[in-house]
């Protein structure tokens, strides 16, 4: 129960961090998209995607090594070795960030047209603080105290919101967008880096370096980088490059990006829970490996409970939401925005299985699954993009995600005897399908605003009603959800607790009736 409460507490903190980011990025992305229009947005998205990919390459490899080995030794109570790992990996990451930023800067100066040169340079300069910041962020995750990452995220989002607001008001255009991104990542770095450094400097310096630790860390880092490079094809919209060169309509990049940006917002719950669970999985590897399959299976259950209903209902309301937020100039994204929530749903389940395999230093399995999925992605996307544009890119991405996740989970189930709750997943899928259909038939009768409001409300009524009738929640869920609800304001916590009490009490009563 200690692990589940730690996960629940971290879900709460990471949830606050992501909720703030979700609200700010939603409003700012809409403001930018409406101001620039799909044509200018297409090129900015392309350059920002390149910069984000380079930053993402730095988010695994060395930072991932920091998290894995710091968590392992902190789980053993060895803070001296964890301190050594932090400073060793931080130095390496700073050097890598400098080289990467300089290399991409040379590329954009030669490739970008004069109209986009300044914004491109600003976006590339934001790579350095983003890459170095990943080490401190993952060090905080390794301590299982995700609350320490919250201040940096909050202040950086505030800075970004104000900068984008000024860009819209004063019509700074592309330069304002690039400067806002650089400002956000610099603030995030400064607010997170120095407190983390001070905390870790306070740890004891004495440690006995285990035999072979540098070799293990180097091997793990290279495998992480390799898996990340391959994962870019499957998880990070690599289809943008294919759209750039295989499709004459530059707007298709904007349509594809808008659709998946909306869909990515849905992954906030899985990202929050997956990150919290991952922190415990890595630490549990140092405490007691035998409990890892049970923790992984439990994580899968909660991801299914939150992600499947959310993605199904979102698919039904995607078109009215698109028109409401982005306007008629983005109506060409209607089909892809409907498909995106369903096709990106597999990504919600990657956290626990990836952490399980990484904690056991079995990244070769992740690499194998990603290579397999990457071949599928590029094949399907290259075949469909010339004729179908963003829709073809979406189908390629979705097919790849299904292949990657299916392969990883199948191997994990076989190798580590992870027992997934298939009956509950079936119940959740049936409930979600009925709620989604309800949302659709209500939404088609109204304008975009009322379609989202009334369709979403009707879907929630069906969702909670069927969750009660089909006894989806279990008695032990009470203490876990209570840990989360206790972090809410009292005005919200009261109704949330009442609903959960009703749903869980129904399951408890059924269990008692059968003598369980």
Residue in the block written with tokens 């005005």: 491
Mean pLDDT of 103-127: 80
List the chain domain ranges: 1-210, 237-421
Instruction: Band the pLDDT of 5: cuts 50, 70, 90.
Output: low
Q: Is 289 helix (H, G, I), strand (E, B) or coil?
A: helix
Residue 438 pLDDT more than 90? yes
CA distance 39 to 48: 15
Q: Between the CA atoms of 457, 460, 462 and 464, what dihedral angle is there, to the nearest 10 degrees?
A: -150
CA distance 216 to 198: 27
Tell me, letter by letter, the H, E, C secondary structure of 26-54.
Answer: HHHHHHHHHHHHHHHHHHHHHHHHHHHHH
Instruction: Band the pLDDT of 11: cuts 50, 70, 90.
Output: low
Tell me, letter by letter, the H, E, C secondary structure of 428-466.
Answer: HHHHHHHHHHHHHHHHCCCCHHHHHHHHHHHHHHHHHHH
DSSP 209: P
Which pLDDT score is estimated for 186?
93
Instruction: Band the pLDDT of 448: cuts 50, 70, 90.
Output: very high
Instruction: Evaluate if pTM is beyond 0.85.
Output: no
> Which DSSP string corresponds to 396-419?
HHHHHHHHHHHHHHHHHHHHH---
Q: Closest Cα partner for 475 from 424, 516, 439, 417? A: 516
Which pLDDT score is estimated for 317?
95
Residue 6 pLDDT more than 60? no
Which residues fall within 8 angstroms of residue 387, CB to CB, at 6 or more apart? none
Residue 104 pLDDT more than 70? yes
CA distance 287 to 330: 51
Token pair belonging to 503: 């749903």
């Amino acid at each position: 129960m200690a692990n589940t409460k730690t996960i629940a507490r971290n879900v709460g903190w990471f949830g606050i961090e992501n909720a703030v980011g979700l609200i700010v990025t939603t409003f700012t992305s809409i403001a930018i998209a409406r101001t620039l229009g799909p044509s200018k947005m297409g090129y900015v998205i392309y350059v920002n995607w390149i910069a984000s990919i380079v930053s993402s390459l730095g988010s695994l490899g060395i930072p991932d090594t920091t998290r894995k080995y710091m968590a392992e030794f902190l789980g053993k109570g060895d803070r001296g070795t964890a301190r050594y790992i932090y400073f060793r990996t931080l130095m390496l990451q700073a050097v890598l960030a400098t080289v990467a930023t300089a290399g991409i800067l040379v590329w954009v100066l030669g490739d970008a047209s004069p109209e986009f040169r300044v914004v491109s340079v600003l976006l590339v300069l934001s790579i350095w603080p983003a890459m170095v910041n990943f080490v401190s962020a993952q060090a905080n995750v390794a301590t299982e105290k995700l609350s320490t990452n919250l201040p940096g995220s909050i202040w950086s989002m505030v800075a970004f919101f104000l900068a984008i607001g000024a860009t819209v008001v004063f019509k700074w255009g592309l330069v304002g967008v690039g400067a806002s991104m650089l400002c956000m990542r610099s603030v995030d770095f400064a607010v997170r880096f120095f407190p983390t450094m001070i905390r870790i400097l306070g740890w004891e310096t004495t440690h006995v370096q285990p035999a072979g630790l540098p070799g293990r860390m180097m091997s793990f880092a290279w495998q992480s980088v390799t898996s990340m490079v391959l994962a870019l094809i499957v998880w990070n919209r690599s289809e943008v490059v294919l759209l750039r060169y295989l499709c004459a309509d530059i707007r298709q990049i904007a349509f594809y990006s808008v659709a998946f940006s909306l869909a990515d917002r849905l992954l906030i719950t899985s990202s929050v829970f997956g990150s919290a669970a991952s922190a415990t999985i890595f630490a549990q590897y140092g405490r007691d490996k035998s409990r890892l399959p049970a923790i992984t299976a439990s994580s899968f259950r909660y991801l299914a409970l939150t992600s499947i209903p959310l993605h199904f209902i979102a698919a039904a309301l995607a078109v009215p939401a698109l028109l409401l937020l982005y306007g008629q100039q983005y109506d060409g994204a209607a089909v892809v925005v409907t498909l995106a929530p369903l096709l990106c749903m597999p990504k919600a389940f990657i956290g626990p299985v990836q952490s399980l395999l990484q904690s056991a230093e079995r990244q070769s399995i992740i690499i194998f699954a990603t290579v397999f999925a990457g071949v599928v992605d590029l094949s399907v996307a290259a075949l469909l993009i010339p004729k179908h544009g963003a829709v073809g890119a979406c189908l390629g991405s979705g097919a790849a995600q299904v292949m990657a996740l299916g392969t990883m989970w199948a191997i994990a189930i076989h190798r580590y005897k992870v027992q997934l709750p298939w009956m509950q997943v079936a119940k959740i899928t049936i409930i979600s399908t009925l709620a989604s259909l309800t949302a659709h038939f209500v939404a088609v009768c109204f304008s975009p605003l009322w379609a989202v409001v009334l369709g979403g409300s009707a879907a929630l009524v069906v969702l909670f009603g069927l969750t009660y009738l089909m006894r989806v929640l279990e008695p032990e869920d009470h203490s876990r959800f209570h840990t989360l609800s206790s972090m809410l304001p009292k005005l919200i916590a009261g109704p949330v607790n009442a609903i959960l009490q009703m749903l869980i009490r129904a399951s408890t009563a059924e269990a008692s009736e059968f003598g369980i």
